[in-house]
């Protein structure tokens, strides 16, 4: 029986796994493509795949909706994946200047948490700005045209857009948030503890192989693009820590801190206690 792994373009670990020869070979994988990480919970509920990977926010929102979320594995922090961009000629010079402004982002992703924490640095909340939920391409166009004051971008769109010279970075993600890729499922998928251990081990092996050959990874990710795309992907892959491993108590504390922040900003209707069933049958 195949082990179904959901992957989408914004989760590079699993998207690369779907392209990488021999990835997860010991698990008889079937890679299931979908295009929006925020749909992961819904697709898990429908049984379209057994596990998926996203940023830190979607599993929190899934748990808030009543699902029994199981965290299986996590990547190392990704300090370079995320930044707030403004037009190069913009008068905006600080986060405080964003008060009342329209900001484009993939809302409900880790970018929402990043924005919340940045706003807190200037004694602002998510209610003090106007969020525009937009895909990366339209977000870039909206910022270029002045329809929004800022865009919260992630890889590879961040690197590609900065090359144009039209934008500048107002704030980097850095270590403001952990910004990990998380690999998770729900109780209804009935994954065993052994499968979870195998998945984490295969993910760790894949990370080592990518680290050893970033040019191969960049070529796979840019196979439908041009040389500019390949160079951008090479920078993204080379600049990322591809280590990954099983979930630990620190990860759960990080998720709890994010859930608390989202509640305080009004994005969660009630306080949420982060739990996982991964120490039992998942």
Domain definitions of the chain by residue range? 3-76+180-264, 83-172
Q: 233: which 2 tokens?
A: 């992907």
CB 124 within 8 A of CB 67: no
Residue 43 burial (C-beta neighbours within 10 Å; 0-12, 13-18, 19+): middle
Q: What is the pLDDT of residue 280?
A: 45
Alpha-carbon torsion angle 254, 259, 264, 268, nearest 10: 170
Cis peptide leading into residue 247 (ω within 30°): no
Q: What is the pLDDT of residue 277?
A: 56
CATH of domain 83-172: 3.40.190.10
Q: What is the pLDDT of residue 282?
A: 36
pTM more than 0.75:
yes
CB 181 within 8 A of CB 78: yes
Question: How would you label 194-216 residue by residue, b for 16+ Cβ within 10 Å and e otherwise?
Answer: ebbebbbbbbebbbebbeeebeb
For residues 197 and 181, give the distance between their C-alpha atoms in angstroms, rounded to a whole number. 17
Q: Quickly count helices (H) and strands (E) in the chain.
A: 10, 11
Asked whether this chain's domains 3-76+180-264 and 83-172 adopt the same fold, the reply is yes
Q: 176: which 2 tokens?
A: 């403001």
Residues of the chain predicted below pLDDT 70: 277-282
Question: What residues pair up with 29 in beta bridges, in sequence order?
Answer: 3
> Does 3.40.190.10 match the CATH number of domain 3-76+180-264?
yes
Q: Between 110-121 and 249-264, two packed helices, what is the crossing angle to 10 degrees?
A: 70
For residues 111 and 7, give the distance between their C-alpha atoms in angstroms, rounded to a whole number. 19
Q: What is the pLDDT of residue 226?
A: 84
CB 57 within 8 A of CB 272: no
């Amino acid at each position: 029986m195949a082990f179904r792994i959901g992957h989408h373009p914004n989760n590079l670990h699993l998207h690369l796994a779907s392209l990488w020869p021999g990835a997860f070979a010991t698990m008889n994988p079937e890679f299931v493509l979908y295009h929006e990480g925020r749909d992961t919970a819904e697709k898990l509920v429908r049984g379209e795949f057994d596990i998926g990977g996203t940023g830190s926010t979607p599993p929190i929102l899934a748990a808030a909706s009543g699902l029994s979320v199981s965290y299986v594995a996590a990547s190392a922090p990704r300090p370079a994946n995320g930044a707030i961009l403004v037009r190069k000629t913009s008068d905006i010079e600080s986060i405080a200047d964003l008060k009342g402004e329209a900001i484009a982002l993939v809302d409900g992703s880790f970018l929402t948490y990043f924005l919340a924490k940045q706003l807190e640095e200037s004694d602002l909340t998510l209610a003090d700005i106007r969020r525009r939920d937009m895909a990366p391409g339209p977000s870039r166009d909206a910022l270029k045209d002045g329809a929004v004051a800022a865009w919260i971008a992630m890889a590879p769109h961040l690197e590609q857009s900065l090359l144009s010279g039209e934008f500048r970075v107002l704030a980097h993600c850095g270590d403001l948030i952990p910004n990990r890729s998380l690999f998770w499922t729900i109780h209804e998928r009935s994954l065993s503890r052994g499968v979870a251990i195998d998945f984490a081990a295969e993910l760790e092996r894949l990370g080592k192989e990518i680290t050893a050959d970033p040019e191969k990874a960049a070529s796979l990710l840019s196979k439908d693009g041009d040389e500019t795309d390949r160079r951008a992907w090479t920078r993204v892959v080379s600049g990322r820590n591809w280590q990954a491993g099983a979930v630990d108590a620190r990860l759960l504390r990080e998720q709890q801190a994010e859930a608390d922040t989202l509640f305080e900003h009004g994005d969660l209707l009630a306080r949420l206690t982060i739990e996982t069933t991964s120490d039992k049958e998942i």
